[in-house]
A and B are shown apart, each in its own frame.
Chain A
Amino acid sequence: MHYGNPRRVAVVAANRIPFARSNTAYFELGNQAMLTDTLRGLVQKCNLQGELLGEVAGGAVMKHARDWNLVRESVLGSGLHPNTPAYDIQQACGTGLEAAILVANKIALGQIEAGIACGTDTTSDAPVAVSRGMQRTLMKVNAARSNGEKLKAALGLANPANLIPELPMNAEPRTGKSMGQHAQITAHRYGISREDQDKLALASHQNLAKAYDEGFFDDLVMPYHGLVRDNNLRPDSSLEKMGKLSPAFDRKDGTITAANSSPLTDGASAVLLASEDWAKKKGLPILAYLTAGEVAAVDFIDEREGLLMAGAYAIPRMLQKRGLSLQDFDFYEIHEAFASVVLCTMAAWESAEFCRSKLGLDKPLGSIDRNKLNVKGSSIATGHPFAATGGRIVATLAKILDQAGGGRGLISICAAGGQGVTAIMER
């Protein structure tokens, strides 16, 4: 599958729209519009009009049936050359980073020279479907051959129970528990305090606000439908204010609240990846290199492992392959689905017991310098449009490394179904 020696993969440019809390600024928009506009913004920024790229990969987690070819349709309206291939992927919240890994792999192998990884999600335009009963009835009517058969099949339409629409659910199909309920159980297991979670959430808002004030996002985020910043950002939040909220998933002993969780969010992001040669030929800067990717999954049924703990497994494997220690990084980007996920993951790495029994290591991976964690804010402050989060993080880390003039960064993103997508970026 490879042409010549593997090549380094450069992160060249990125674009995203400001993320918006569900049912706010992007209420009237859908995934197709947001993704198309985000790609257009990237095309404009890099003068990619009419450019034939190797591929565009991306997707959405919450998707209408009509958006079955979402990314390709967006590419056709993006200004890229219409011959640019595209495909949809879906790996829950890992979609965006997985897309980047897929595109990067093809570039590394010499299959393509450049490509875009992208993602979009909206909970303001959720795919509300007809009920299973209605769907079966309609299929039967469609399949019926004679008018009599059709009429008979259509009688099912009269069943009032069939009129109740099917709503997308925020629950794991195999446990029936919501992601927050799972996260709360894991937080209890690791003894993560409410205060620690609130502190991490506050840092997220403060770091993001500072980054915006410094103009860090000026060339990463484009103004869109009246927004110039993520509208979930609360720069004036405080531990006192956060402390007043009641727990969301465990009324009695819960520690997870709306303030230390990422909210439902609408948004889209895109990242341009390329070989060094291509970037140089186009006169585009190399912000950083995507140098490793690792994906893990855990068995979370009956809480054999925490639903959102797969990152704790993927990263040690990746470190071992690269011969690195957990402390060999200058920046850490751990996706804040919940503050507790970040804290549980770090607690697991610090735990001799976890590292021995679950990872088979002689000694724990150890702790990380919290000053290097999510230094430009993360999902609690920006919001978390599922498939768009990977692109946000890759872009943010690439620019952090570029500004620092060098260094190494680690990304971990947890995803539904007990999965975790991780990567290393270097400069």
Chain B
Amino acid sequence: MSDLLMKLNRNRATAPIVKALGLPNPVQLARAEGGYEARPFSGKIALLGRTSNGYAAESLSAALRSAGAEVLSSLEGADGRHADIVVMDATGCRLPADYRALYDTFHPVMRRMSRNGRVLIVAATSEDAGNAVAAAVARGIEGFSRSVGKELGKKGISVNLAYAARDAVDRLEGVVRFFCGTQATYVSGQSFHVTSRVARPEALPYSKALTGKVALVTGGARGIGMATAERLVQEGACVVCLDVPSAADALHDTCTRIGAIPLMMDISSPDAPARLAEFFRDKFDGLDILVHNAGITRDRTLANMKEHYWDMVVNINFAAIAAIDDHFLAAKVLRDDARIVCLSSISGISGNVGQTNYAASKAALIGYVAARAPEVGSRGICINAVAPGFIETPMTDEMPFIPREVGRRLNSVMQGGKPRDAAELIAFLCTPGAFGISGDTIRVCGQGLMGA
């Protein structure tokens, strides 16, 4: 998991050589070690840009202040200090001329943003626009935010776009806290929707956010699953890590280390949904958080693909998830206000040579969460997918040097992510405060070039 280029850039002896060769110098990304803080933005400067007739600015301002930020409308009175966070209410953009507000807000601060800063733009949804031009204007903001992301990525600044419905502005606090927080370090260039589909949960804790919740993370022995389980434990959840019996040692080591409960099971066996349901009903009287992380690859070109490789990948990566959800929802094992997160993949978005089976199963999950979300919204349940890009794991360590070097640089921050970065996005989507987001797929890829 070591990034040689980053090491050479950090070493005083080798840094000049790397520079002379014109090799990239990726920024050290900020990462949090612990759980969410109550006032994570305290001491930070947040710039809030507006458009006339925008409807989200008040809500955004309140969210920034409650998280502890000092909110300014421009950097003019900031005594030369840089902005840590820039939030733009672009919901008032309805005509091409309104784009000018984007220029006016961002042009003066592009050189005055701190490393590891955050940009969040909030736009109206195309569906709400009412006419073709307004819809196009809303859609066009995505091109703007992605380009800003590429421009600022080398400073470790992430740039994301929330399409917020007019009746969903009360759902922006959690969104602001995550996408403007340290935790979103490898989530950039994304757009997602904030809607009023799911009712507000009774309590909206923003630190120890998962106290009292019971969570299941499949494939929890290693990698992203392990990091996710650890992250959920940090937020106070009681976490069950599931993995196959052949991973028993890693599974139990992980659980002992992070304080989770190990469960050995093959999720693709036909009786798995019923056995799992019984387990959670008997032990916990239900389940609040379900992270479908378990997945396998069996890579071959389609021409060389064995039948059982095809079936195995589709069964484990897709069919098992649908079967478990069907059973859990029908049997009411998933409690009201539950959260489901499916692990999709960049391969599912962009396609990849030798991964027809894998990409099909992972792309299916994108459609799955979109279609499942309206079914479960009335019970307060959110379901989303997370698509990791190049995440540094033992698996990527085994890649040949050149594909690995290329793979990890092909994004706006010019480095691979950590399992923890994916875990941060997953954990956020599991919190009560993420109730505005359901049916979406969000990538954690440092704004990767592939499939963008």
Contact, CB under 8 Å: B282 / A79: no
Give Cα A325 to B238, complex, Å: 53
Interface size class of A (residues with CB under 8 A): 10 to 19
User: Which residue in chain B gives the minimum CB-CB distance to A79?
Assistant: B262
Give Cα A44 to B255, complex, Å: 15
Contact, CB under 8 Å: B240 / A40: no
Contact, CB under 8 Å: B279 / A79: no
Contacting B252 at CB < 8 Å: which of A47, A50, A79, A283? A79
Interface size class of B (residues with CB under 8 A): 10 to 19
Contact, CB under 8 Å: B279 / A47: yes
Contact, CB under 8 Å: B248 / A40: yes
- Docked complex: B235-268 residues within 8 A CB-CB of A: 238, 240, 248-249, 252-253, 255-256, 259, 261-264
Choose among A36, A77, A79, A82 the residue with the greatest number of B CB atoms under 10 Å from its CB. Answer: A79
Tell whether A333 is near chain B: CB-to-CB under 8 Å.
Answer: no
Contact, CB under 8 Å: B282 / A77: no
Tell whether A403 is near chain B: CB-to-CB under 8 Å.
Answer: no
Contact, CB under 8 Å: A82 / B256: yes
Contacting B283 at CB < 8 Å: which of A50, A78, A79? A50
Q: B255 — which chain A residues lie within 8 A by C-beta?
A: 79
Contact, CB under 8 Å: A49 / B248: no
Q: A47 — which chain B residues lie within 8 A by C-beta?
A: 279, 282-283
Q: A50 — which chain B residues lie within 8 A by C-beta?
A: 238, 240, 261, 283
Give Cα A79 to B265, complex, Å: 13
Instruction: State the Cβ distance, B255 to closest chain A Cβ, in Å.
Output: 7
Contact, CB under 8 Å: B252 / A77: yes
Instruction: State the Cβ distance, A36 to closest chain B Cβ, in Å.
Output: 8
Q: A78 — which chain B residues lie within 8 A by C-beta?
A: 252
Q: A121 — which chain B residues lie within 8 A by C-beta?
A: none
Give Cα A62 to B225, complex, Å: 38
- Docked complex: B211-253 residues within 8 A CB-CB of A: 238, 240, 248-249, 252-253
User: Which residue in chain A gives the minimum CB-CB distance to B261?
Assistant: A50
Instruction: State the Cβ distance, B38 to closest chain A Cβ, in Å.
Output: 29
Q: B259 — which chain A residues lie within 8 A by C-beta?
A: 82
Q: B253 — which chain A residues lie within 8 A by C-beta?
A: 77
Contact, CB under 8 Å: B283 / A76: no
Contacting B256 at CB < 8 Å: which of A37, A44, A77? A77
Q: B263 — which chain A residues lie within 8 A by C-beta?
A: 44, 49, 79
User: Which residue in chain B gives the minimum CB-CB distance to A81?
Assistant: B261
Contact, CB under 8 Å: B252 / A49: no
Q: B238 — which chain A residues lie within 8 A by C-beta?
A: 50
Contact, CB under 8 Å: B282 / A283: yes
Contact, CB under 8 Å: A44 / B283: no
Contact, CB under 8 Å: B256 / A76: yes
| Interface mask (A42-56 → B, CB under 8 Å = 1, otherwise 0) | 001001011000000
- Docked complex: A185-232 residues within 8 A CB-CB of B: none
Instruction: State the Cβ distance, A114 to closest chain B Cβ, in Å.
Output: 15
Q: A36 — which chain B residues lie within 8 A by C-beta?
A: 252
Instruction: State the Cβ distance, B47 to closest chain A Cβ, in Å.
Output: 47
User: Which residue in chain A gives the minimum CB-CB distance to B275?
Assistant: A47
Contact, CB under 8 Å: A49 / B283: yes
- Docked complex: B274-291 residues within 8 A CB-CB of A: 279, 282-283
Contact, CB under 8 Å: B262 / A49: yes
Given contacts A49-B240, A49-B261, A50-B261, contact A40 B283 (CB under 8 A): no
Give Cα A411 to B283, complex, Å: 35
Instruction: State the Cβ distance, A32 to closest chain B Cβ, in Å.
Output: 11
**Beyond known contacts A47-B279, A79-B252: 10 more, CB 8 A cutoff:** A40-B264, A44-B263, A47-B283, A49-B261, A49-B263, A49-B283, A50-B238, A50-B240, A78-B252, A82-B259
Interface residues of B (CB under 8 A from A): 238, 240, 248-249, 252-253, 255-256, 259, 261-264, 279, 282-283
Across the A-B interface, the 5 shortest Cβ-Cβ residue pairs: A50-B261, A79-B262, A77-B252, A49-B261, A76-B256
Interface residues of A (CB under 8 A from B): 36-37, 40, 44, 47, 49-50, 76-79, 82, 283
**CB<8 Å pairs between A and B, sample of 5:** A37-B248, A40-B264, A44-B263, A49-B261, A77-B256
